[in-house]
Amino acid sequence: MENKDISEQLKNTVQLSLNNKEKLIIKGGNSKHFYGRTPAGKTLNIAEHQGIINYEPSELVITVRAGTKLKDIEALLAKNNQMLAFEPPAFSDHATIGGTIACNLSGPRRAYTGAARDYVLGTKIINGQAEILSFGGEVMKNVAGYDVSRLITGAMGTLGVLLEISLKVVPKPETEITLVHNCTAEQALVKLQQWSVLPLPITASCFYQDQLNIRLSGSEKAINTIQQSLGGEVLNEVNAFWYSVKEQTHPFFDKEKNLWRVSTASNTPITTKNKDSFYEWGGALRWIKVDISIDKIPDSLNGHITLFRSPAIKNEVFQPLPKHLLQKHRNLKQAFDPQGIFNIGRMYPEF
C-alpha cells in the first residue's frame, strides 16, 4: 500500500478549475463508473492519495486517505480480527474507500448492522471553493456542528472531494454459518418477519428462486443453539455465496439487462415473478430485472427505485425528488459547491 498525500495538489487543481470555470469528475478506482448518471468535465483522479493515517484496533477507528484501496483496508483490518461492518461491495480490485463512501453502497450485512453512513465518524474534504475542511473526528460520539460527514456520504462527489475518512470498525464474529430454507418468496418474507422480531444473530438474508439463505454470526456455541431452533440445511462455501451476492457475481445479475434496485418496506407484497427478482436485507432490498418507469412509481412500491446498472445509455437513474425536497438539495449543492464544478449531473441533471 502506498503512503502518499496529494491533498495540496488536489486542492490546487480544484482552484485552477474554479479559475478556469471548468467542471470536474472525481475518480477513484473507477469501479463504480456504471452507477449514477454520466457527468461532464475533466477528470480529477484521487487514486494516488493513499495511506492509513491512523489505526488503533482498541479504539475501533481507522482513518485513511480516500484513494486507499478498499481491499487493502479490509486486509489490514482482518489481520487485527476486525472488519467494516457494512460489508461494502467493491465491484473491482481497484475500488477505493473514497468511492465506497461517496456511493454509500453497503452489502448483505446492512439491514442488520447499518450502512456505510452509520460508520462514518469524520471526513476531510475539499469543498467547491477549494478549501480543505474537516468535519467530525475519530470518536464515536460527536455532535459538534452539523453532521457534514454523513451528509457527504452517498452524495456521489457532488458536494466535495473526499480526502480522508474516519470509520468505526467492528470485531469479526467468531463464527458464521449460513442456513438454507426451501420456500416460496411469500413464505420467505413471512419467515424473515417472524425472525426479525426475535433477538437472533442474523447478519444477512437473501432469497432467490425458492431458496432462502440466512447467515448467523456469533460465538460457536450460540450459533449452534440458534441453528437448531431455526432449522434448515447448512450451506457450505459460505463466504463464496455471500461474496457473489455482495459483488453481484451471482448468476441472477445478468449484465445484459437493466438492473433495478428497489429499496422498500420489508413487508411490501411480492409483485414480480420469481426469476426476475432477487431479495436481500430481510425483504427491504429487491433487485429486479423487469423495467420500471422511473417517473411513474406506483405507491404500492412503498419505497424508492434506482436504475442500478444498464447496458444502454442511462437517462434518469435516481427517482425524482419532490419539489420542496429538490429545492433543499439545490440549496445544499449551492452551499458546498457554489460554482457547480463537482460531478455535475452524476445524481440528477442539475447536480
Q: How would you classify the pairing of strands 61-65 and 120-126? A: unpaired
Among 1, 151, 230, 270, binds another protein (CB under 8 A): 151
Q: How far apart are CA 64 and CA 100, in angstroms?
A: 12
CA dihedral 36, 38, 43, 49 (to 10 degrees): 0
**Site residues (CB under 8 A) for another protein, limited to 280-319:** 281, 284-285, 302-304, 306, 318-319
Is residue 28 part of the contact set for another protein (CB under 8 A)?
A: no
Rank residues 29 and 283 by Cβ distance to another protein and give the closer one.
Answer: 283
H or E segment to which residue 179 belongs: strand 175-182
Among 153, 213, 277, 343, binds another protein (CB under 8 A): 153
Total residues interacting with another protein, rule: CB under 8 A: 82
Nearest residue to 87 via CA among 104, 63, 62: 104
Among 52, 170, 235, 270, binds another protein (CB under 8 A): 170
Binding segment for another protein (CB under 8 A), chosen from 5-13, 16-24, 26-34, 199-207, is 199-207
Among 2, 22, 48, 56, binds another protein (CB under 8 A): 56
Task: Using CB atoms within 10 Å of the CB of residue 43, give its burial: 0 to 12 exposed, 13 to 18 middle, 19+ buried.
Answer: exposed
Q: What is the CB neighbour count within 10 angstroms for residue 133?
A: 14
Beta-carbon contacts of residue 176 (< 8 Å; ≥ 6 apart): 203, 215, 216, 217, 223, 238
**Site residues (CB under 8 A) for another protein, limited to 238-277:** 262-267
Rank residues 69 and 88 by Cβ distance to another protein and give the closer one.
Answer: 88
Q: How far is the CB of 198 from another protein (least distance, A)?
A: 6
C-alpha cell recorded at residue 339:
460554482
C-alpha cell recorded at residue 267:
413487508
Q: How far is the CB of 5 from another protein (least distance, A)?
A: 14
Is residue 347 part of the contact set for another protein (CB under 8 A)?
A: yes
**Site residues (CB under 8 A) for another protein, limited to 79-138:** 81, 104, 110-111, 114-115, 117-118, 127, 131, 133-135, 137-138
Is residue 11 part of the contact set for another protein (CB under 8 A)?
A: no
